[in-house]
Amino acid sequence: MEKSGSIDSLGSKRSSSRQPSVDSLSSSASTSRSDRSAQAKPPSAMSSDSVSTSTELSPELRKVPRDLDKEELQLLPNEKVQDMAQDVTYFCPFIGALRGTVMVTNYRLFFKCMDREPAFVLDLPLGVVSRVEKIGGASSRGDVSYGLVCKDMRNLRFAHKQMEDTLRKSIFEVLIKFAFPVSNGLQIFAFEYGQVFPVNGWKVYDAVSEYKRQGIPNESWRITKVNDHYEVCDTYPSTLAVPVNIPDEELKRVAAFRAKGRIPVLSWIHPESQATVTRCSQPMVGVNGKRSKEDEKYLQAIMDANAQSHKLFIFDARPSVNAAANKMKGGGYESEDAYQNAELVFLDIHNIHVMRESLRKLKDVVYPNIEDSHWLSNLESTHWLEHIKLILAGALRITDKVESGKTSVVVHCSDGWDRTGQLTSLSMLMLDGYYRTIHGFEVLLEKEWLSFGHRFQLRIGHGDKNHTDADRSPVFIQFIDCVWQLTRQFPAAFEFNEYFLVTILDHLYSCLFGTFLCNSEQQRLKEEIPKRTVSLWSYINSQLEEFTNPLYVNYSNHVLFPVVSLRHLELWVGYYIRWNPRMRPQEPVHQRYKELLAKRAELQKRVDELQREVTNRSASSSSDQPGSPTRSITPVQTFV
């Protein structure tokens, strides 16, 4: 495999997107003033804060005709208006107080102010709301204020007149009911939304097909159905790849020694050296240093499956102090005395609680206003980029051992569904160009995150009002941030653009699609998620031109070795600070990308025509001179 070092990049920023029902321009730092979303049909999960032609106004702003009324809010399939209130004030941190009308549906909050030219619209999927707070009592003018704390870095504030009819609920009390359907005995909107797309995203990933693509089964690895009914491990997928010489009965004994039964299983195998990336949970060593002969034999079998190396690296994502503390709870880490020829490496990545606090601090620093004079010190105090660096550095060490050292690695943290998923998926992204395509990245998420039991429901809290839940954590957001950092250093290595990553994160919260619901494969099957909901990949794969990087070059054999020092990492402005109108670029990059894609297709067509012309000329000239030897024509590989 060829190796790619980091290069300076043209970063991908995004502009206005084709958005759904209310043609909202969601987001990113590069959203342009747009009217092209008017013809858009797909659904919006991205909240938008409205529009103006002024360069000082927010990237989420958009034009709305003056005669916009309730009927003109194009509802999604099975979306219904639940309540409506007039004379509501939205306190926009960038423009000031705006008075208008609020509508609450079973999917979104929709605010419009017609007193401005152009009109201001705020379109907020209710899944984005983390909590709703009543701020103080009624003011001297009789206004009651409500604050909406959002999962996508924003805090929104509204006020409206005290209800004269005391029996009638405030529109914000209605909003609470539909923002937290799980807590109120209602269905998440994804179960009601019935949009039909030309592509079925639930067919993107098939475990057996993906193992087959990697060359599994082979003489060293086999596919087992021992977990077909989720009896060995209820948070693992039903299809697993394990060493060929370990029978199913022995796998069950190994599961008894691993936390939550999460045994070491194959994630990825090197096509040439057969070095592997395997994942699992911590061993149940405890304070007395328990051992398991079956577990030791199992790890030896993983090492023996790779003839190129007589060593095995065990990467424990945790700081060594935390790993040792887990012994008190019955967990722990592998002893190098018990596991012959194995080397244990701690990667010092902190736990979910530290990451949650870090993101909270980042939100305080970037929204609504940035203190310019202390920007760098304030950003440093959040430690967010330090955590991103440690995750990337850990994935890079794994990549280096597998690619350069031709050595197999085992990766785990405590339970193996948070930091482990970050490390395996990032290292696979660096090692295998297939995962850098749009389809391959979708497969990577389905495999390493969804099927292997990252607890999306608990980490994000879909439809749950308990915002103080200790299980909430931005683990998946950190992973997508790390992917974005890679796209900055290797701008031609990824088929997808920044808008693709932002769209995934926006729909992580929106509860419009079923992709990120539940905590495990078993739960998704029990809830019949593929039958009852729409996949996010159906939406994305039905409009691939929106998410394609025009600079992409398919170097499938290249391995990426990013530079992970802090000075080469940057805060993802296009996601974390996209709501601030002063942070957007002057150029509508997303539209430029689409123009580049069209130009690329045009030039590629011309190249193909010229190649056919050359081939035809050489064929005719060789037939005119039968005595001369035939010349072979090497096709020209042209990358635009």
Q: Which residues are catalytic?
A: 413
Q: Which of 137, 118, 133 is nearest to 34 (CA)?
A: 118
CB of 263 within 8 A of CB of 232? yes
| Encoded tokens for 423 | 């490390």
Give residues with Cβ within 8 angstroms of 17, minimum separation 6. Answer: 25, 26, 27, 31, 37, 46, 499, 503, 546, 590
Q: Which of 106, 105, 110, 69 is nearest to 88 (CA)?
A: 110
Beta-strand relationship, 312-316 and 240-243: unpaired
What is the per-residue burial (b if ≥16 Cβ within 10 Å, else e) of 117-129?
Answer: ebbbbbbbbbbbb
Q: State the number of CA atoms in the 13 A half-sphere of 146 facing the CB.
A: 21
Taking the C-alpha atoms of residue 425 and residue 155, their distance in angstroms, rounded to an integer, is 32
| Encoded tokens for 630 | 């035939």
Give residues with Cβ within 8 angstroms of 243, minimum separation 6. Answer: 220, 221, 222, 298, 301, 302, 304, 305
| Encoded tokens for 278 | 């395997």
With H, G, I as helix, E, B as strand and everything else as coil, classify residue 81: strand
* Residue 433 CB coordination number (10 Å): 21
Strands, E assignment, 461-584 = 558-561
DSSP summary character for residue 297 = H
Give residues with Cβ within 8 angstroms of 349, minimum separation 6. Answer: 317, 318, 319, 387, 390, 391, 394, 413, 419, 422, 423
Bridge partner residues of 242 (DSSP): 222
* Residue 590 CB coordination number (10 Å): 24
**Cβ-based burial of 618 (10 A; exposed 0-12, middle 13-18, buried ≥19):** middle
Strands, E assignment, 370-423 = 408-412
Taking the C-alpha atoms of residue 101 and residue 88, their distance in angstroms, rounded to an integer, is 6
Give residues with Cβ within 8 angstroms of 271, minimum separation 6. Answer: 214, 215
**Cβ-based burial of 80 (10 A; exposed 0-12, middle 13-18, buried ≥19):** exposed
* Residue 200 CB coordination number (10 Å): 15
Bridge partner residues of 266 (DSSP): 278
Give residues with Cβ within 8 angstroms of 53, minimum separation 6. Answer: 33, 63, 118
Place of tokens 């994630």: 267
Rounded to the nearest 10°, the torsion over CA 345, 347, 352, 353 is 110
Taking the C-alpha atoms of residue 165 and residue 607, their distance in angstroms, rounded to an integer, is 72
| Encoded tokens for 136 | 């103080």
CB of 294 within 8 A of CB of 248? no
